[in-house]
Chain A
Amino acid sequence: MIAAITRAITVAVLILLATQVEAQQRGAYRAPRFPGTQTPDLNGIWQAVNSANWDIEPHVATPSAFPALLGAIGAEPAGQGVVEGGKIPYQPWAEKKKKENLEKRFSHPTTRELNDTTGDPEAKCYLPGVPRATYIGLPFQIIQTARQVLLSYEFASATRMVYLDRKPTAPADSWMGWSIGSWDGDTLVVDVSALNDKTWFDRAGNFHSDALHVVERYTPLSPYHLMYEATIEDSKVFTRPWKISMPLYRRMEPNIQPLEFKCVEFSEEFLYGHLVDKPSK
Chain B
Amino acid sequence: MRHRFLARMSPLPVVAALLLSAQGPAAAQQAAPGSTQKTAAPAPARFVVPRTAWGDPDLEGVYTFATLTPFQRPAAQAGKDVLTEEEQKTLEEQLKKKLQENIVTNEHFSYNAIWFSSDEGRPTGRTSILIDPEDGRLPPLTERAQQLRAEMQAHAATKRIGKDQLVDSWEDLSIYNRCIGRPMPRVTQEYNQGAQILQTPGYVTIFYESMHDVRVIPVDNRPHLDSAIRQWNGDSRGHWEADTLVVDWTNFSDKQKSDGSTPFGGFPQGNLHVTERFRKVNATTIDYLVTVEDPTIWTRPFTFDLPWRGDDPTYRGPDDLFEYACHEGNYRMVENSITAAKAVRKAQAGKK
- Residues of A bordering B, CB below 8 Å: 34-37, 43, 109, 112, 115, 125-127, 141, 143-146, 148, 150, 152, 156-161, 163, 168, 171-172, 174-176, 198, 255, 257-260, 262, 264-265, 267-268, 271-272, 275-277, 280
Contact = CB atoms under 8 A, between A and B. Distances in A.
Contact of B180 (A143, A255, A265, A276): A265
B60 interface: yes
Contact of A152 (B170, B201, B211, B214): B214
Interface stretch (B16-24, B27-35, B64-72, B316-324): B316-324
B334 A150 contact: no
B200 A158 contact: no
Nearest to B173: A268
Given A35-B201, A258-B216, A171 B178 contact: no
B332 A150 contact: no
Given A163-B318, A264-B178, A276-B338, A255 B222 contact: yes
A178 B328 CA distance: 17
Given A43-B200, A144-B200, A36 B180 contact: no
B229 A262 contact: no
Given A150-B207, A277-B342, 20 more contacts: A34-B200, A35-B201, A36-B53, A37-B53, A115-B331, A145-B198, A148-B198, A150-B198, A159-B212, A163-B318, A174-B325, A257-B218, A258-B216, A260-B232, A262-B180, A262-B181, A264-B327, A271-B331, A272-B331, A276-B338
A101 to B, nearest CB: 18
Interface string B330-352: 01101100110010000000000
Interface in B134-191: 168-171, 178-181
Contacts, number: 121
A109 B331 CA distance: 10
Interface in B58-81: 60
A127 B318 contact: no
B288 interface: no
B213 interface: yes
Interface residues of B, number: 48
B323 A174 contact: yes
Question: What secondary structure prevails in chain A residues at the interface with B?
Answer: loop
B233 interface: yes
Contacts of B317: 168
28 contacts: A34-B200, A43-B203, A112-B331, A143-B198, A143-B203, A143-B205, A150-B196, A156-B327, A157-B212, A157-B213, A159-B212, A163-B318, A174-B322, A174-B325, A176-B323, A257-B218, A259-B225, A262-B181, A264-B179, A268-B178, A268-B334, A271-B334, A272-B169, A272-B338, A275-B334, A275-B335, A275-B338, A276-B168
Contacts of B342: 277
B109 interface: no
A127 B329 CA distance: 11
B111 interface: no
A280 B53 contact: no
A3 to B, nearest CB: 50
A109 B232 CA distance: 27
A155 to B, nearest CB: 12
Given A35-B52, A144-B200, A171 B232 contact: no
Interface in B271-328: 317-319, 321-323, 325, 327-328
Contacts of A257: 216, 218, 225
B178 A143 contact: no
Nearest to B203: A143
A258 B225 CA distance: 11
B54 interface: yes
Contact of B319 (A109, A157, A161): A161
Contacts of A148: 198, 318
Contacts of B211: 157
A262 B232 contact: yes
A172 B325 CA distance: 12
A121 B19 CA distance: 59
A259 B168 contact: no
A259 B226 CA distance: 12
B172 to A, nearest CB: 8
Given A143-B216, A152-B214, A112 B203 contact: no
Given A141-B216, A264-B327, A272 B231 contact: no
A176 B169 CA distance: 29
Interface string B222-258: 1001000101110000000000000000000000000
Nearest to A169: B319
A264 B334 contact: no
